Amino acid sequence: MKFDYDLFVIGAGPGGLAAAERAAGYGARVAIAEQDLVGGTCVIRGCIPEKLMSYAASFSELYQQGVGYGWKQPQTTFDWHQFMTAKNEEIHRLSDVHKRSLEKAGVELIKGRATFINPHTLDIRPLQKRNSLTGETPIPQEFLEKSIEGRQITTEKILIAVGGEAVKPQIPGIEHAITSRELFDLKQQPKHVAVIGGNYIAVKLAGIMRMLGSFVTLIVHEDGILSDFDADISRAVTQGMKRRDIQIINNTSLKKIEQIDGEYLHLTLSVTSPDALIVDTVVCVNGRAPNLSGLNLEAAGVKVSKSTNCYVQVDASAVDDENRTTAANIFAVGDCTNQVTYTPVAIANARAFADTHFGNQPQTISYECVPSVVSFFPEAATVGLSEEKAREKIGDSLRCNRSEFRPLFHSLAKREEKVLIKLVVDSTSDRVLGIHMVGLGAIEIIQCLALALRMGATKKDFDATIGIHPSVAEEFFALV
């Protein structure tokens, strides 16, 4: 049978884009369907707007630090509308960059929603939704190009890269809450925001919003924030958030939301509080689900597995080491799968898929040394095993080297802001199993040290490395 395409990709996010361009580079006939702006969650309503917002928030502390270095305290205010306008312009610019990359690679971009008819046939329908950047304005005509009414296409292989969506708990009044998707598009800055969740996304958003000037209450179902990370990371980030006057309520779930006077929200929690919790914005960051609804996966023979994510039950597309689903010719990458849900992981898996199935270069991805960013204010990052996970794995062979200190940057400002650095080591082999940091420069430093971890660096290797003085990173090479 002759197919219209060698590969059809559903979803033009980071994973879909990487696979489409790599496969086309091997000479494959490739098309990609997208019903929103090109770029996916990461570009439109995830990593990029979040990072831009964190940059905006960082000026708040820089202005305060400047006084200790001789700068007069400036009169500053944050213009939410100006930031949102600039942020949206940058997102559209990045989306256009990705569109041009597809065109240059020879990938056909089809604006529309794809659904399965059978394992090799898809039905493409025109866009019938609003612009995700505004939630109100219909998608401009420029984004409706190549919309096709009821076109059916055939393809040898299909890659599902539709990403995931934030979900909200099913409680009374939940219609008054938003997710991170809507947070990045609010017309007005919240005065007091309640963030529901204790995972790394919730913690990052709480820190960002506080440093932009909003009051923040973090409502956490577990004993504390960042329960999946090293306990020292959780402790240090918690201390840093409290220093910034972020209220954290642990062992608590949201039971009901009631609107007051059309402006404020009264929250009923699972714990008894002497003071009523009244806010103007509730952001739910306690669960995500693969965006698989409406694909008609049953018609293609793609089965999904059940997994629990905090309060919600979600469907996850189970894939093997080659990113193959239960249908032989259908594959999946990114947040719609049971893989690690980070953008770089989706890109790596997408390229490995294209290398394997179109480049005759079989590739598999290792998840052992994938770094994570767990907070922005204070900044934190980690790679490898936590102390708790390492203890489960190697028992009494575990050794931890840690240090907490005030970095030079904070000295003149007389701030009691500490940096935490930590190495988790197997004392038998001397190999470093985990690297953790909270404080100034954590993200960039851990990104580089991830390579050392992947290459099997030992504690002796760290000790023998000469650092740059004065710097925060050099302290990793002087741990005792």
On the CB side of 38, CA atoms within 13 Å amount to 27
The Cα-based distances of 189 to 81, 136, 262, 278, 369 in angstroms read: 8, 18, 17, 16, 37
Could you tell me where the DSSP H helices lie in 69-142? Answer: 80-105
Residue with tokens 């994938």: 370
Concatenating the DSSP letter of every residue in 274-342 gives: SS-EEESEEEE-S-EEES-TTS-HHHHT--EEEEEETTEEEEEE---TT-B-SSTTEEE-GGGBSS---
Residues 220, 223, 229, 230: is their CA dihedral positive or negative? positive
Question: CA-to-CA distance for 333 and 325, rounded, in angstroms?
Answer: 10
Question: CA-to-CA distance for 393 and 384, rounded, in angstroms?
Answer: 13
72: DSSP letter? P
Contact 390, 230 (CB under 8 A): no
Strand partners, 153: 122
- 8, two tokens: 């059809």
Concatenating the DSSP letter of every residue in 389-418 gives: HHHHHHGGGEEEEEEEE--GGGTTTT----
CA-wise closest residue to 392 among 436, 429, 438, 433: 433
Residues catalogued as catalytic: 469
CA-wise closest residue to 240 among 440, 470, 446: 440
